[in-house]
Structure 1
Amino acid sequence: ELFTMFSNSVTNGGKTTLAEKLKNMLPNCDIISQDDFFKPESEVETDERGFKLYDVLDALYMDEMVTSIRNWMKSPASSGVVTEEPQNTDDNLKNVYILIVEGFLLYNYEPLNELWNRRYFLTLPYEECKRRRSTRVYQPADTPGYFDGHVWPMYLKYKNELEENASMQVEYLDGTKSQEELLSYVYSDIIQELNKLTE
């Protein structure tokens, strides 16, 4: 059985940390990260204000990302990074392969929409998101005004598009909650879904 979980989040919403922790807790689990599919800086468009447009699909090799996910789905056991089973793995979950896809623009790209079992979206309020982003070092570095001028408006646009799409089943999570609380909730939710899958 295959199970694909998509974890989308506002910048610095905690999706990567959550994905890494889940990987250690779930059997036969791999992660594919959207950040690994960014185009080189020279290929990313710049707007009239001089902002590099990283928070749009055109800044990513999305076709390559879809290919990577499909290749994993064809042969998850040979993906090379299947982890040892956690001690408490239920017997009926030992033959399930789990893929966590984590990123920031996953749900408005049509070819990905048929590949998921469960979708989560970590949200943050403006102040907390800006605070977290200011503590991180980016390559290339954020230019002055970049968060307010590009990052946050693109996040709001994307989130609004999702909320207007009634057919999109997404579980929204409060990114201000503790990592432990989020982890506990998502882990329980996935186990519940996996049990349904293997019944």
Structure 2
Amino acid sequence: MEDRKAVIVGISGASSSGKTTLARLLRDVFPGTFILHEDDFYRPETELPSKDGLLDWDCAEAIDIPEMTRALSHIRTHGTFPPFVDSKEDQNSIGACPVSDAAIAAAKSKVAAWLQPGSPGHSILQDASNPSGLRMCVLDGFLLYSPEMVAGGVPPLLDAKLFLLVSQERATQRRERRDGYVTLEGFWTDPPGYVDKIVWPNYVEAHARLFRDGDVEGDLDEDVLGEMGIRAQVGKGLDVDMETTFNWAVDALMERLEEMAGRR
């Protein structure tokens, strides 16, 4: 690999598709891993655009993309959490873990064996026996593969790109169960109709090109995914349970890291 201190994994998908839950699970399984959240780069509330009379937190204009790319560059170079980022997202609750303790323990064992001498993952990541290895950063965000992020230079800074699917019905149910979100100014609670008026239409607009005929509840366009280097659970349908998604993500990351190390 090129001279660097960390690999960066992007996890994107609609709001409430399970990105943060998956990021925290991967942090627990892969040694030397920390999380960066797209939500930590929200602009001040006074700078947010409005749509249909509501503040729009769910568009690219709400995110300080240059600051996010600066943070990603710092991580690649130094392998540490950017000291200039004040994370608010980890103060938000995501509820009970939907993955069983047995599945988490099995994944930890799989990764630990993969890192052993003689195994494909040996010496790639930093662990107790390999302090000079790479750290892993997981970046979760709802817009990582949008045209605006592409224009801002975000995808080239991501070494692995995962995309989670969810139906509008499930996303709405999950988001409406949340109490709200910690922000720079205090606390935000979605006003009535926010998902239907803001969240889902913005998701459709930003991600239609990843799907055949632009139908975000239809089939993914594998050609576009291939061009962008995005990995997804193609052919599995929407609303795949998190335990299945977690196991898929662990395997996908081990495969990608082996590719980067020239072992595949």
**TM bin (shorter chain):** 0.7 to 0.9
Alignment correspondent of 1:158:
206
Q: In structure 2, what is the Cα distance between the partners aligned to 1:112 and 1:182? A: 24
CA contact (8 A) 1:45 1:52 kept: yes
- What secondary structure sits across from 1:144 in the alignment? coil
Of 124, 135, 139, the match for 1:97: 135
Alignment correspondent of 1:33:
37
Residue 240 (structure 2) pairs with residue 177 (structure 1): yes
Q: How many residues align?
A: 193
Q: In structure 1, what is the Cα distance between the partners aligned to 2:196 and 2:259? A: 43
The one-letter amino acid paired with 1:92 is S
- Write the mapping of 1:99-118 to structure 2, written as runs, cut at 5 A: 99-108=137-146, 109-110=149-150, 111-118=153-160
The one-letter amino acid paired with 1:171 is R
Compute the displacement of 1:122 (Å): 0.9
Compute the displacement of 1:178 (Å): 2.3
Residue 250 (structure 2) pairs with residue 187 (structure 1): yes
Q: In structure 1, what is the Cα distance between the partners aligned to 2:81 and 2:145? A: 27
Change in Cα spacing, 1:78 to 1:152, as seen in structure 2 (3 Å) is closer
- Normalization by structure 2: what TM-score? 0.67
Deviations 1:152-193 (A, max 9, x none): 111111110344783323223466222221111111111122
**Which structure 1 residue ranges, 4+ long, deviate > 4 Å from structure 2?**
77-80
Deviations 1:69-97 (A, max 9, x none): 100111116869xxxxx772433234132
Q: In structure 1, what is the Cα distance between the partners aligned to 2:10 and 2:161? A: 5
The one-letter amino acid paired with 1:102 is D
- Normalization by structure 1: what TM-score? 0.87
Deviations 1:119-166 (A, max 9, x none): 111111111111111101223221222111111111111110344783
Q: In structure 1, what is the Cα distance between the partners aligned to 2:145 and 2:24? A: 21
Q: Which has the higher contact order (CA 8 A, sep 6+)?
A: 1
Alignment correspondent of 1:83:
none
Give the stretch that moved more between structures: 164-173 or 110-119. Answer: 164-173
Unmatched 5+ stretches in structure 2: 84-107, 117-121, 127-132, 181-186, 215-222
Change in Cα spacing, 1:77 to 1:124, as seen in structure 2 (3 Å) is closer
- What secondary structure sits across from 2:9 in the alignment? strand
Alignment correspondent of 1:62:
65
Q: In structure 2, what is the Cα distance between the partners aligned to 1:194 and 1:151? A: 33
Residue 90 (structure 2) pairs with residue 42 (structure 1): no
Change in Cα spacing, 1:104 to 1:77, as seen in structure 2 (3 Å) is closer
CA contact (8 A) 1:30 1:98 kept: yes
- What secondary structure sits across from 2:196 in the alignment? helix
Alignment correspondent of 2:24:
20
Q: In structure 2, what is the Cα distance between the partners aligned to 1:159 and 1:79? A: 28
Alignment correspondent of 2:189:
141
Deviations 1:18-55 (A, max 9, x none): 001101111221211001111122221223x3111111
Change in Cα spacing, 1:78 to 1:182, as seen in structure 2 (3 Å) is closer
Unmatched 5+ stretches in structure 1: 81-85
CA contact (8 A) 2:79 2:134 kept: no
Identity of aligned pairs, percent? 23
Q: In structure 1, what is the Cα distance between the partners aligned to 2:82 and 2:202? A: 34
